[in-house]
Chain A
Amino acid sequence: MLLFLKILKAGIVTEPLAPGEPDVIEVAREVETKARRLLGRAVAIREVDAGSCNGCEIEITGLTGPVYDSERFGIHFVASPRHADLLLVTGPVTRNMEIPLLKTYEATPDPKIVVAVGDCARTCGVFRGSYAVVGSVDAVIPVDVFVSGCPPEPTDILRGILTALDRLPKRKRRRDGT
């Protein structure tokens, strides 16, 4: 009973999506319009940790919580890449994770989108040049959008995903005047 009273008292705590810095998100390849239209309203994400320190993972976990609530945009996380449309890749790709990352990409059915999260995914971050690292994510699989940051804010990750789907709420930005 106490649980439900607490739920009622707290109310909806989801925050509207903040505009954020534009150059955090880099569009590497244009996603096909057909794919964008298909996946725009319902996208399943499979998160792949290609050797990250888990800093990005903690931010990504926050996405499904009440504050950032990715589900309101039709985003949900799935366990199997066969069910997924979008691969969310973190970490510099380590040697051990190179083939698994490739296999995950092959297991995902078309059309698919890849969003690389974090500085490590883009430039290998602090692990650059290490013997255990193969390269950035786009050395292994084709990436559509990069989200920079170490780790990036959950809002930036969300905006990166929405940019890939071309579903960023543009009207809100105009109202804010930015």
Chain B
Amino acid sequence: MTADLMMAAAQGLLALFLAPGVVGLVRWLKARLQNRRGAPPWQPYRELRKLFQKEVVVSRHASWLFHLAPFVVFASTLAVAVIVPVLAVPLLVDRIGDLLVVVYLLLLGTFFLALAGLDPGSAFGGMGASREVTVAALAEPTLAVAIFALARSAGSTNLGEIAARTTADPLSAVSPGHLLAFAALFIVMLAETGRLPVDNPATHLELTMIHEAMVLEYSGRYLALIEWAAALKFLVFFILLGNLFVPWGLARALTLEAVMTAVGVFAVKVVVLAVAVAVLETRVAKLRLFRVPELLSASFVLALLAVTSSFLLR
């Protein structure tokens, strides 16, 4: 049991410390695809280190919620990182939360971040909060139905179970249900983590911002926590896409050999997904905000097809 707990803590920390690197990797790939050198993939670490040493400026109209929100966002995202199967499955922590818990923990972070956007009383914050909760709300049905599709074929909503069931039945990984659910979850990832075509993470125009606009008031260590949590959320979605749909490589036993293999395979999956996101972001343009529901409805239809196909083909 202690080995399990230490493994869970270790994989949570691994995800935490890898997350800025993944964001940096996507940025570096995008830079190369824009024909320029760009910052090295470890640039976000330097940015975080700098932010932790900067002063925090807080609006005089903000309340204690403004100070509390970065901790809630960070803690909830870190809790998710501990629960999802990064390296080894099944672990005891798997029984603390299943996929539904993961989704709602992320929603907890969104709730507090949106409130923090409204707190200082600026119009930017209000706009960012309003758009962020709209996108989050519209992504919920897709997430729930995709979970339904996965749970149906695995017989459980717990992540370890789903990964184990797919490993035991390799053909199910290429079943239409799984592929459609993967596509639906990929689109939801783009929406929830603020990537093109839903939201441009590098924009400076407040009118085009969704996630950025909520954090315009944050500075210093609070901003560092929020940026880190956003990077961690991005990595968590990679983990879900990689380790639930392609679970080979996950350590079944806690031996050094298995864990090392798991780390290697995990790195490969992350790089593949990072390349996919970078290429996609280079290819598409940002969608107008009121076209985003159409994109999310398309992902919902994909998820619904995933469920019905897994019923029809059973």
Contacts and interface: CB of A to CB of B under 8 A. Distances in A.
A28 B39 CA distance: 29
Interface string A105-119: 001111100000000
| Of B35, B38, B43, most A-chain CB atoms within 10 Å | B35
Contacts of A12: 32, 35-37
Interface string B247-290: 00000000000000000000000000000000100110000000
A53 to B, nearest CB: 20
B216 A79 contact: yes
Interface stretch (A34-42, A133-141, A144-152, A167-175): A34-42
A59 to B, nearest CB: 17
B223 A83 contact: yes
Contacts of A38: 50, 53-54
A5 interface: no
A107 B124 CA distance: 15
A80 B216 contact: yes
Contacts of A73: 39
A85 interface: yes
A71 B46 contact: no
A82 B59 CA distance: 11
A42 B50 contact: yes
A43 B35 CA distance: 22
Interface in A79-96: 79-80, 82-83, 85
Interface in B218-241: 218-220, 223
B36 A13 contact: yes
Interface stretch (B100-108, B184-192, B204-212): B204-212
A62 to B, nearest CB: 12
Contacts of A65: 36
B50 A7 contact: no
Contacts of A67: 36
A129 interface: no
Contacts of A11: 35
A14 interface: yes
A82 B53 contact: no
A3 B55 contact: no
Interface in B22-44: 31-39, 43
A69 interface: yes
Interface of A: 3-4, 7, 10-14, 38-39, 41-44, 65-67, 69, 71-74, 76-80, 82-83, 85, 107-111
Given A74-B43, A80-B217, A82-B57, 17 more contacts: A12-B35, A13-B35, A14-B36, A38-B50, A41-B50, A65-B36, A66-B36, A71-B39, A72-B36, A73-B39, A79-B212, A79-B216, A83-B218, A83-B219, A85-B54, A109-B56, A110-B54
21 contacts: A7-B33, A10-B35, A11-B35, A12-B35, A13-B36, A14-B37, A42-B46, A65-B36, A66-B34, A69-B36, A71-B36, A71-B37, A72-B36, A74-B43, A74-B46, A76-B202, A80-B216, A80-B217, A82-B218, A110-B54, A110-B55
Interface of B: 31-39, 43, 46-47, 49-50, 53-57, 202-206, 209, 212, 216-220, 223, 279, 282-283
